[in-house]
Amino acid sequence: MEWKDQTAQARNWFEALRDRICSAFEEIERDAGSDAGFGYKEWDRDTDDGSHGGGGVQGLMKGKVFEKVGVNVSTVSGAFNPQFAAQINGASEDHPQFTATGISLVAHMANPHVPAVHMNTRFLTTQTAWFGGGADLNPPIPYKEDTQAFHARLRAACAAHNPTYYERFSKWADEYFYIPHRSVHRGVGGIFYDHLECEDEPAFERNLAFTRDVGEAFLDIYPQLVRGRMDTEWTREEKQRQLEWRGRYAEFNLVYDRGTLFGLKTGGNIDAILMSLPPEAVWD
């Protein structure tokens, strides 16, 4: 099955979601008395044989509430190198071709009481096609009620599609967002899913609908959490705690994160790949 039309459909959704998220985040900055806004930079990906391999748009804002937030969309195509192809669903040394489109977001907040967050959803094709992604909350200072609200919203999104999704995908997030050399989780979890196979058009429509609802759930709950904490006063000790926590976050993304590895292995834009790193961190 050819997936060109489906890739375009997924791309359109990711770009539309990007626009709505950025607008919501800029509105929060306005409410905080800031005129900060997103700046956008386009980038192109060239393949090893010199042909055009797609590209993307990197969106970045540094404001009063959002110390650094990146929202990237990209659509790329080409061929994996033989060693990396063996690690990708549906790819092989004989069939290394791929297309990938997706949205990736990481927000690092000025106030240590406001949770950082990560969200990513994507559609990939090799010899097969599938959706993946998720969202996870990363508070330097966890609040039980925030964690519960975040999970409840994702649970509702999952329940609308499959009664097993939330338990499966929240467990997957706990296992994935873990730092083995520190023996700690990166945050308080969320959901993580991959390889939702699209063997035909109905499966594509079903999995796209779920992926859309994950995006809608994120857009619904995260701005609420930000607004609930962004005016909380903090101490120097709490800011130090945030900076130390950011060091752990950076370690995970540079050592273990599959998305970082995928971007580096496929000739992605370095600035966009590393936008997940915090603006400031410490290691004691």
DSSP collapsed to 3 states, the chain: CCCHHHHHHHHHHHHHHHHHHHHHHHHHHHHCCCCCCCEEEEEEEECCCCCEEEEEEEEEECCCCEEEEEEEEEEEEEECCHHHHCCCCCCCCCCCEEEEEEEEEEEEECCCCCCEEEEEEEEEECCCEEEEEEEEEECCCCCHHHHHHHHHHHHHHHHCCCCCHHHHHHHHHHHHCEECCCCEECCCEEEEEEEEECCCHHHHHHHHHHHHHHHHHHHHHHHHHHHHHCCCCCCHHHHHHHHHHHHHHHHHHHHCCHHHHHHHHCCCCHHHHHHHCCCCCCCC
- Could you confirm whether 118 is annotated as catalytic? yes
Catalytic position from the list 52, 95, 108, 118? 118
- What are the residue numbers of the active site? 118
